[in-house]
C-alpha cells in the first residue's frame, strides 16, 4: 500500500455528511468519496442531494443520499437507522448542516434564536449521539468532525449572535464528546472556517455584513474545498491520534 493510501485512504468506510447537498458539505462529500469512502449525503433537499450523489458516481465514487431534517429527533433516529441498515454501519460523521441567517442581536426573537440553535447545535448533537451509538454497537473506532465557525474566537460581522452562540456550543460539544467517547476509540474534532463563499453565506448576506469579517485575508478568499481538505485530514488515518481539537481554517485572517 502506498504511503498516501495508508495516511489518507478511506476505502471500506461509510461517511455521513450532513448538509451535503451544497456548499461546504458538497465539497466534503466529494473529497471523502474521492478518498474511497462510501459517502452518504444527508440533507433536506432531496433533489440537490440526488444531484450530488450522481456527480460523485459519475466521478467514479460511491455515494448515497438520505433525506433527514436534523432538527427532528425522530427523523434523525430513523434516518441513521436506515443508513446503518443499508450500508452495514457508519465510520465517519461530518456535522456540517447549519443555517447562517442574520439578525441584529437587539432585534432577534426568541423563536428565531431557538430555530437557529435547533438546527446548528441540537441537530449535530442528535446526529452525533445516534451515529456514535451505531459505532459502539459495531465496535467501530470511528470519528466525528463538527463544522463550527471562526466566529467562536472573534466576532466576524453583525447579525451573527445566535449563529456564533450555536457554534460555540458545538465547540463545547466537541470537547466533551471527545472526552466521553475516547474510551471507545472514537475521535471527535472540529473545523472552524473563516468567511467562506457558499450559497448559505450569500443568502445571509442579504441582511447585514458590517464588521471585521469583511476585511480581506492574507491568503485570499476561502472556498468550500479549503474546508473540505481540513475535514478530510481529520477523518483520515493520518489524524488517528488527534481528538478534542479545533482546527481554524481562516486564510490568515487572525493575523491581520
Write out pLDDT tens, residues 105-122.
Answer: 999 999 999 999 999 999
The whole-angstrom distance between residue 4's C-alpha and the CA centroid of its chain comes to: 24
Reported as a pLDDT band with limits 50, 70 and 90, residue 254 is confident
CA triple 156-158-161, angle to 5 deg: 85
How large is the average pLDDT for residues 196-213? 58
Whether 205 has a pLDDT exceeding 50, the answer reads no
Q: What is the pLDDT of residue 212?
A: 58
- Name the CATH code of domain 3-250 (choices 3.40.50.300, 3.40.50.720, 3.40.50.1970, 3.40.50.880): 3.40.50.720
How large is the average pLDDT for residues 64-88? 98
Whether 245 has a pLDDT exceeding 70, the answer reads yes
Q: At what angle do helices 161-181 and 123-137 cross, to 10 degrees?
A: 20
Q: Helix (H, G, I), strand (E, B), or coil: what is residue 211? A: coil
Active site residue 163: yes
Percent of the chain surpassing pLDDT 70: 93
Task: List helix spans (H) across the chain.
Answer: 3-8, 23-34, 46-58, 73-87, 110-117, 123-137, 161-181, 199-204, 224-235
Q: Where are the domains of the chain?
A: 3-250
Q: Which of 29, 14, 4, 5 is nearest to 143 (CA)?
A: 14
Residue 186 contacts residue 143 (beta carbons within 8 Å): yes
Q: What is the pLDDT of residue 9?
A: 96
What is the value of pTM for the model shown? 0.93
pLDDT tens, 1-39? Answer: 699 999 999 999 999 999 999 999 999 999 999 999 999
DSSP 141: -
Q: What is the pLDDT of residue 148?
A: 98
- Overall size of the chain counted in residues: 256
Q: What is the pLDDT of residue 218?
A: 86
**Which one of the listed residues 26, 28, 119, 163 is annotated catalytic?**
163
pLDDT tens, 151-203? Answer: 999 888 889 999 999 999 999 999 999 999 999 999 999 999 998 987 655 45
Q: What is the pLDDT of residue 213?
A: 57
Query: Using CA atoms, how far apart are residues 33 and 21, in angstroms rounded to an integer?
Result: 14
What are the two backbone dihedrals, phi and then psi, of residue 208, each rounded to the nearest 5 degrees? -130, 140
Reported as a pLDDT band with limits 50, 70 and 90, residue 211 is low
How large is the average pLDDT for residues 222-248? 97
Residue 124 contacts residue 111 (beta carbons within 8 Å): no
C-alpha cell recorded at residue 60? 467514479
Amino acid at each position: 500500500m502506498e504511503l498516501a493510501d495508508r495516511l489518507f485512504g478511506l476505502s471500506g468506510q461509510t461517511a455521513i455528511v450532513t448538509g451535503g447537498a451544497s456548499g461546504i458539505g458538497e465539497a466534503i462529500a466529494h473529497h471523502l468519496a474521492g478518498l474511497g469512502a462510501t459517502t452518504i449525503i444527508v440533507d433536506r433537499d432531496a433533489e440537490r442531494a440526488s444531484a450530488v450523489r450522481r456527480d460523485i458516481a459519475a466521478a467514479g465514487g460511491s455515494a448515497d443520499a438520505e433525506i433527514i431534517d436534523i432538527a427532528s429527533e425522530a427523523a434523525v433516529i430513523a434516518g441513521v437507522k436506515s443508513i446503518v441498515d443499508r450500508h452495514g454501519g457508519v465510520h465517519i460523521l461530518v456535522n456540517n448542516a447549519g443555517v447562517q441567517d442574520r439578525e441584529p442581536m437587539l432585534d432577534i426573537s426568541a423563536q428565531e434564536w431557538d430555530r437557529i440553535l435547533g438546527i446548528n447545535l441540537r441537530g449535530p448533537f442528535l446526529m452525533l449521539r445516534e451515529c456514535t451509538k451505531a459505532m459502539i454497537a459495531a465496535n467501530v473506532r470511528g470519528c466525528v468532525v463538527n463544522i463550527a465557525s471562526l466566529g467562536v474566537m472573534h466576532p466576524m460581522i453583525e447579525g451573527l449572535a445566535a449563529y456564533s452562540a450555536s457554534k460555540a456550543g458545538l465547540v463545547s460539544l466537541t470537547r466533551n464528546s471527545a472526552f466521553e467517547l475516547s474510551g471507545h476509540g472514537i475521535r471527535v474534532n472540529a473545523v472552524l472556517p473563516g468567511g467562506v463563499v457558499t450559497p448559505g453565506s450569500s443568502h445571509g448576506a442579504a441582511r447585514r455584513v458590517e464588521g471585521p469579517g469583511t476585511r480581506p485575508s492574507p491568503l485570499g478568499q476561502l472556498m468550500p474545498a479549503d474546508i473540505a481538505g481540513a475535514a478530510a485530514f481529520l477523518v483520515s488515518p493520518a489524524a488517528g491520534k488527534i481528538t478534542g481539537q479545533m482546527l481554524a481554517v481562516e486564510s490568515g485572517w487572525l493575523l491581520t
